[in-house]
Chains A and B, each alone.
Chain A
């Protein structure tokens, strides 16, 4: 089955850039997503990228996709303490499910210190 891997923890200082990395195995992935989860809350969609794109920028967020290496990254510019949260990478696929389901990584905890 599909697999999505992420590093578990990242610590940065306020004002620095953060880069969260993700690798996936499903070569039939069509869309890849980044979700943010704050303590005690559900998952909030941050951004997504279509698999035929290399890069997508949305304000402080930049998503880079290397489809050949099946590698996805999320860069947060000028990281703020309010960005501290768990970030989940997810891919849409499963050919078996008719592309109806998402496979999530285990999440990267981002800690931003003042």
Chain B
């Protein structure tokens, strides 16, 4: 059971380049999330999705875009990379619904923008 899988694990980008961070889950979870983690700052929510075709902004959405065409996949796109986007990015998923919904995390993508 793979859980939440993120690719790539590491990436270095030049300023102004674009890239897509991939996230897929095999638990049939409806809810998916993207966070960024900066040193000493905890996790900040970028975007989330409560189901295929539905996405919502989190706390820090500027500079990012997402799509949710399938239940399994929730890619995060950076269009014009900036140094401020150097961070560790985590994808998570949860069952959703009205009951307790702990989030399951991937291992992260470490992104440096130079």
- List residues of chain A with CB under 8 Å of any chain B CB: 1, 4, 8, 31, 33, 35, 40-45, 48, 50, 88, 92, 97-98, 100-102, 104-107
Contacts and interface: CB of A to CB of B under 8 A. Distances in A.
A44 B48 contact: no
Interface residues of B, number: 26
Contact of B90 (A1, A42, A106): A42
Given A42-B90, A42-B105, A42-B107, A31 B100 contact: yes
Given A43-B90, A101-B33, A106-B40, 17 more contacts: A4-B42, A8-B40, A31-B100, A31-B101, A41-B108, A42-B106, A42-B108, A43-B105, A44-B105, A45-B103, A48-B102, A100-B48, A102-B103, A104-B35, A104-B42, A106-B42, A107-B40
Interface in B1-34: 4, 31, 33
B106 A33 contact: no
A28 B50 CA distance: 20
B5 to A, nearest CB: 11
Interface of B: 4, 31, 33, 35, 40-43, 45, 48, 50, 56, 58-59, 90, 92, 96, 100-108
